[in-house]
Amino acid sequence: MFRPVTGPTLWLYILGALAASGVIFFVLQAIPSRLRKPLVALITFVAGLYYATEFFWPVGADGANFLTPWIDPLAQMTQVLQAFALGLGVYSLASVHLRAVARQRSGWGFSVVLFAGLFAIALTGFLREYRPNRFNENVFNFFFVGGLQSLDATMFSIIAFYIVSAAYRAFRVRSIEATILLTSAFVVMLGQVALGQALTNNIPNQQFAANFRVENIANWILTRVNSPALLAVDFGLGIGGLATALRLWLSLERGSYFDKEL
Amino acid sequence: MGFLVRLQDIDRRVLYLLLAVAVSFPFLFPAPVPDPAILPQTQSFFRTVEAVSADPVRRDKLVILSCNFSSSTSAESLTQTETVMRHLMKNKLKFAIFSFNDPQGRELGQLIANRLQDEYGYQYGRDYVNWGFRPPAAAVNTVKAMVRNIPEAIGTDANGTRLVEIPVMRNIRGANDLAAIIEITGSNSLPVWLQYLQRTGAGAEPIPTLYCPTAVMAPEAFPLLKSGQLQGMLTGLKGAIEYEALLNVRGFATRASASLSYSHFLILALIVLGNLGTFAARAQARRGGAR
């Protein structure tokens, strides 16, 4: 629908967009506060209505209706709006931690580390993106692969230690339910690893005998016992999600964020 | 009896140390582990990729390799990415790395591509492309727009080049030009593909969709395999181990098999010991009461 532009026209478009955004901003500020909520509700409703109508409206031979051409520009617009959220997030994070550093609150050193990490990865990322050369690539990899990737993986791996401790303490034969849980967990764990599967490797993996191989028992528990229960949970979640979506679309949601004065 | 009773309350630091040894020991001193049993969902994953490669029409289409994970699940997700990408490259399939859940995804996918491309004679732009990252909240709208016009919905690749100018994207327009969707994830990002793209092609058949979740997420996907919405699944690191066996490759996943086995056996042994301790304590209490 929209063609990309370059050169002076692009700058003209950017300036035009900034000017229009400024006007919209001041108009919204000028609106009395009692009218802001209905306005937000109206915009939310129209935005949601577009996608619902586009989905349900009959399509022609080309698989499109009169609303379909707007899908691409709206998708791009959503991406731009989401990019603003990133800036807002950085601003919010920076304001909290700058205050901590300025007032030297307890743990303010960690805030300094946060800024060092934030600027290091952002700066090296920009340099790699806009000044690509071997040095900038290596510096970025030093922070990304050597730093972020390793730290992230390490933090998540720590969960394994808690899982071992929790499994050791929780899986005890205390009641019938606990015993069923323990037995099924035991079999599924055995069926998950090559060494466990090797315990029943001598049983033929064909016909009736295959039912006694540990990986098949584990798979049976996962697909025939676990799956129906999960489907039931998912169905409940789906209904709940539909109700929540309708409430959001029609601006009926109440509670934190929704009842505050705009 | 006193020793047995103490088994029900082993110090957690001892447990941590035992796990650290069980996980790291096989990497330091490689130990032989039996070949894994290949589960049906792994076999169907493999067969789907093979079927796409064997079909003269579909093999010219594009595979979406959706890398929706961060480094936190790299032990599973990155290993899955490597083994799946190896299969795509081995079969000379064109693919696009894409991420809409975590910005790290595009980097991690590219990292694996950089590592493998020389081995298989792959070249960026000619054989594969990196569409980069799009914000999670815009994912639904972006994928909906991809149905009719991928170059317009995505715009530019990770380097800022317009998709229409990239050779591998030539003749790739919308959902009809997709050979398969492969979702590698550590979070709940699969529904976006299933709801908004999988069944939007002109053919009666849905676009083959393959799933690589972390092991803890896999049970949630079994109903989707049964309903035919997923054509295959690699269950965490174990799935990658099975896939390497199918590809006849001995990579990181195969090396990690011993580590995975030992750590699982450690947990099982600890559960047995804990219960022995509980039984011993109960027996001791009964005897104390009888006196």
Is A230 contained in some domain? Answer: yes
pLDDT-based confidence at residue A75 (cuts at 50, 70, 90) = confident
Distance from C-alpha of B228 to C-alpha of B223, rounded to nearest angstrom: 9
pLDDT at position A60, please? 86
Distance from C-alpha of B280 to C-alpha of B291, rounded to nearest angstrom: 17
- Residues of B in Cβ contact (< 8 Å) with A145: 111
Are residue B272 and residue B169 in the same domain, yes or no? no
Distance from C-alpha of B158 to C-alpha of B114, rounded to nearest angstrom: 14
Across the interface, of B39, B141, B260, the residue whose CB is closest to A215 is B39
pLDDT for B236-290, tens place per residue? 999 999 999 999 998 899 999 999 999 999 999 999 999 999 999 999 888 876 6
Question: Pick the residue with more confidence: A258 or B166?
Answer: B166
pLDDT for B143-159, tens place per residue? 988 998 999 999 999 98
- Residues of A in Cβ contact (< 8 Å) with B16: 161, 164-165
Burial B257-286 (b: 16+ CB within 10 A, else e): bbbbbbbbbbbbebbeebbebbbbbeeeee
pLDDT at position A69, please? 86
* Residue A20, domain extent: 7-56
Is B176 contained in some domain? Answer: yes
Q: Is the model's pLDDT at A240 over the cut of 80?
A: yes
Contact A26, A251 (CB under 8 A): no
Are residue B69 and residue B15 in the same domain, yes or no? no
Are residue B81 and residue B20 in the same domain, yes or no? no
Contacts of B210 (CB under 8 A, 6+ apart): B45, B48, B49, B84, B180, B181, B182, B183, B230, B231, B232, B233, B234
Are residue B106 and residue B228 in the same domain, yes or no? yes
Chain B residue closest in CA terms to A72: B145
Do A227 and B10 count as a contact with CB atoms less than 8 A apart? no
* Average per-residue pLDDT for chain B: 92
pLDDT for B201-217, tens place per residue? 777 789 999 999 999 99
pLDDT at position B291, please? 60
Is B244 contained in some domain? Answer: no
Q: What is the rounded (10 degree) CA torsion for B233, B238, B240, B244?
A: -120
Average pLDDT of the residues in A50-70: 89
- Range 177-236 of B in CB contact (< 8 A) with A: 202, 215, 218-220, 222-223, 225-226, 235
Is B239 contained in some domain? Answer: no
Number of domains present in the structure of chain A: 2
CB pairs under 8 A between A and B: 178
Is A214 contained in some domain? Answer: yes
Is B277 contained in some domain? Answer: yes
CA B109 to chain centroid, in Å, comes to 12
pLDDT at position A255, please? 66
* Residue B272, domain extent: 2-32+255-290
Are residue B25 and residue B48 in the same domain, yes or no? no
Do B222 and A186 count as a contact with CB atoms less than 8 A apart? no
Q: Is the model's pLDDT at B112 over the cut of 90?
A: yes
Number of domains present in the structure of chain B: 2
Average pLDDT of the residues in A229-240: 92
CA quadruple A252, A253, A259, A261: dihedral sign = negative
pLDDT at position A77, please? 82
pLDDT at position B286, please? 87
Q: What's the length of chain B?
A: 291
Pick from A79, A121, A202 the residue to mutate for testing the B interface (most B CBs within 10 Å): A79
pLDDT for B28-72, tens place per residue? 998 888 888 899 999 999 999 999 999 999 999 999 999 999 999
Distance from C-alpha of B165 to C-alpha of A161, rounded to nearest angstrom: 49
Are residue B66 and residue B172 in the same domain, yes or no? yes
pLDDT at position B52, please? 96
User: Listing from the earlier edge strand, what are the strands of the sheet with B178-185?
Assistant: B128-133, B94-99, B62-68, B178-185, B209-212, B232-233
Distance from C-alpha of A96 to C-alpha of B279, rounded to nearest angstrom: 53
pLDDT for A3-23, tens place per residue? 778 889 999 999 999 999 899
* Average per-residue pLDDT for chain A: 88
Is A195 contained in some domain? Answer: yes
Is B191 contained in some domain? Answer: yes
Model pTM?
A: 0.83
CA distance B169 to chain A (A): 18
Across the interface, of B18, B134, B226, the residue whose CB is closest to A223 is B226
Q: What are phi and psi of A6, to 5 degrees?
A: -135, 175
Q: Is the ipTM of this complex over 0.85?
A: no
Do A196 and B23 count as a contact with CB atoms less than 8 A apart? no
- Residues of B in Cβ contact (< 8 Å) with A74: 141, 145
Q: Is the model's pLDDT at B90 over the cut of 90?
A: yes
Contact B290, B280 (CB under 8 A): no
Are residue B57 and residue B172 in the same domain, yes or no? yes
Are residue B12 and residue B141 in the same domain, yes or no? no
Return the bridge partners of B210, or none. B182, B232
Is B182 contained in some domain? Answer: yes
Average pLDDT of the residues in A159-183: 92
Are residue B105 and residue B201 in the same domain, yes or no? yes
Are residue B259 and residue B228 in the same domain, yes or no? no
- Residues of B in Cβ contact (< 8 Å) with A160: 19, 23, 263
Looking up residue B133, the CATH number of its domain turns out to be: 3.40.50
Are residue B158 and residue B140 in the same domain, yes or no? yes
Chain A residue closest in CA terms to B241: A194
Are residue B264 and residue B158 in the same domain, yes or no? no
